[in-house]
Amino acid sequence: MNQVDQADRIAVRYGRTPTAKKKQKAIGIIGGIGVTIVLVAWIVWAGPLRTSSQFQARDLGFSIVDERNIVVQFEISVTPNTRMECAVQALSADYGIVGWRVIDIPPSSQRTRVFEQPLRTSDMPVTGLLYRCWVP
């Protein structure tokens, strides 16, 4: 057996033939295209390049009206003319949720606004608070 035949047999054994190199190159190109498609789709979906509205929300207090009603006071600071939604909740003595409401905060030219949100409850509330706010 001569040197060329032996080199060809070794190349075939370890996948170093011209055909195998073409396959590897094609797989690399397809993989690169796939990664690029996933990255572009994530950028479009997640929108990391979009500017988002910054906001702050804080509880100011609550007033228990009676066994089935409470008023929650809170403050929202947000970029003017931004619509928001907030969830307000009332809790019982054992920290169970006895009142819950999602409210729409309409856009306004004011940056900081104070709200009072009445809530009906299913049991005696002992506290009322802002659960969470978000920009829809």
Q: Which residue has the higher pLDDT, 38 or 13?
A: 38
pLDDT value at residue 59: 94
The side-by-side arrangement of strands in the sheet containing 84-91 is 97-105, 84-91, 127-134
pLDDT value at residue 4: 61
This prediction's pTM: 0.60
pLDDT value at residue 53: 65
Contacts of 104 (CB under 8 A, 6+ apart): 83, 84, 85
Contact 43, 67 (CB under 8 A): no
For residues 85 and 119, give the distance between their C-alpha atoms in angstroms, rounded to a whole number.
16
pLDDT value at residue 51: 55
Give the count of beta carbons closer than 10 Å to the beta carbon of residue 89: 20
pLDDT value at residue 50: 59
Give the whole-number percent of the chain exceeding pLDDT 90. Answer: 60
For residues 26 and 20, give the distance between their C-alpha atoms in angstroms, rounded to a whole number.
10
Fold (CATH) for 55-134: Immunoglobulin-like (2.60.40)
Query: Would you kindly state where each structural domain of the chain is located, as residue ranges?
Result: 3-46, 55-134
Contacts of 115 (CB under 8 A, 6+ apart): 73, 74, 75, 76, 103, 105
